[in-house]
Amino acid sequence: MIQSVLCFLIVILLINAAVGIFLEGAAWKAEHPLDWIYTREKVTNRLIPLVPLIFLAFGMTISGILLEVTKDFRQMPARDNELTRNLVVMRVSQPTESMKKEAALQKKLRIGGWMLFALCMIPILLYVTKADHFPRNADLEKVIGALVLHVLPWTVIGIGCLMGSTVLQERSMLRETFEASVRMKEEKDAGISPAEQEVVVRNTKTLNIVRMLFLIAAVVFIIAGVFNGGASAVLSKAINICTECVGLG
C-alpha cells in the first residue's frame, strides 16, 4: 500500500515537473525565440527534489524482496470472478431462472456501460474534429487548456460509467456463481444421468475448440498482415499523425 502511494506521488510530481519545465521554457522562448526550451539544467533543477522519494521507493522495493513480503501470496492465484462463474455454471445442466436473470443483467450492464462510454466520446470527437478550436496562430497554452477542459470531464464520466458497470457486473457474477453452486449441489443430490453429464462435457469441448480456432485465425491474420507490409503502413501513418497533425515535428 505504501509502495503504491509512493509510486503514485512520484508520477504526479514528475508530471508537475514536466509541465513546469514547459511553462518556464515557453515564457523564456517568448523573449528568446532562438533558445531551446528544454535544457539539462532545467531538468536537473526539477528532478533533484524528487530524488529522495525515488530512492525511498527503490529502497522499499528492495527491502520487500529481501524480507519476502510477498511470500505468503505467491501460491494464491488472482481472483477472477468471471472465470469462476464460467467454471461453476458449466457444471450445471439446467440453469435456474435466477441464474438466467443474472446472466441477462450482466449482458445489459456490459452493453449499457460501453454505450454510455461511447456517448461520452461524442462531444470529445465533435470538439477535436472542429478546426476552429485549433487556430494556427493561437496561443498553444490556451488551446491545450481549452482542450483539457472540454475533453477531461467527458473522459472521466465515460470511464466512471465503465467502472460502475464493471462493479455491478462483478456483483451479479458473484450472485450467479452462488446460485449455480446451490443448483449444482441440488443436481448432484438428485443424481444426474450420465447422458446429461456427457452433454455438458461435449458442449464444453466444442466451446474450447471454437475459441482455439478463433485464436489461430487471429494469429494467422496478424502474421499475414506483417508480411503484407501492414505493420510498416501503420507505423508510417502513426509517424505522419505525430509529425503533421499533432505538430510534434
173 and 85 fall within a common domain: yes
Angle between helices 2-31 and 140-190 (to 10 degrees): 160
The pTM of the full predicted model, rounded to 2 decimals, is 0.49
Length of the chain: 249
In the block, cell 524482496 appears at: 65
- Where residue 4 falls among pLDDT bands split at 50, 70, 90? confident
CA-to-CA separations, 173 to 114, 116, 164, 166, 188, in angstroms, rounded: 18, 21, 14, 10, 22
Average pLDDT over residues 169-176: 91
Select, from the ranges 15-29, 90-104, 135-149, the one with the highest average predicted confidence (pLDDT).
90-104
Residue 246, helix vs strand vs coil: helix
53 and 111 fall within a common domain: no
Last residue of a domain, one of 165, 191, 217: 191
Last residue of a domain, one of 27, 48, 73: 73
Distance CA 197, CA 93 (A): 8
Q: What angle do CA 138, 14, 43 make, to 5 degrees?
A: 75
- Where residue 109 falls among pLDDT bands split at 50, 70, 90? very high
187 and 99 fall within a common domain: yes
Distance CA 45, CA 47 (A): 6
Last residue of a domain, one of 73, 105, 136: 73
Average pLDDT over residues 174-200: 76
118 and 145 fall within a common domain: yes
103 and 114 fall within a common domain: yes
90 and 172 fall within a common domain: yes
pLDDT in tens, 40-65: 777 778 778 888 888 887 787 777 66
90 and 177 fall within a common domain: yes
Distance CA 57, CA 222 (A): 39
Kindly tell me if the per-residue pLDDT of 168 is higher than 90.
yes
183 and 209 fall within a common domain: no
Average pLDDT over residues 23-38: 66
85 and 175 fall within a common domain: yes
Select, from the ranges 111-125, 137-151, 192-206, 219-233, the one with the highest average predicted confidence (pLDDT).
111-125
197 and 184 fall within a common domain: no
CB atoms within 10 A of CB 89: 20
88 and 157 fall within a common domain: yes
- Where residue 37 falls among pLDDT bands split at 50, 70, 90? low
Average pLDDT over residues 156-179: 91
- What total of structural domains would you count in the chain? 3
Among 85-89, 118-122, 199-203, the range scoring the smallest mean pLDDT is: 199-203
In the block, cell 533558445 appears at: 35
Distance CA 18, CA 37 (A): 12
> Please, are residues 155 and 124 in contact by the beta-carbon 8 Å criterion?
yes
Q: Which residue has the higher pLDDT, 119 or 54?
A: 119
Nearest to 104, CA basis, from 93, 112, 115, 114: 112
Domain hosting residue 98, numbered range:
80-191
146 and 173 fall within a common domain: yes
pLDDT in tens, 87-107: 888 888 788 888 889 989 999
Nearest to 44, CA basis, from 80, 17, 68: 17
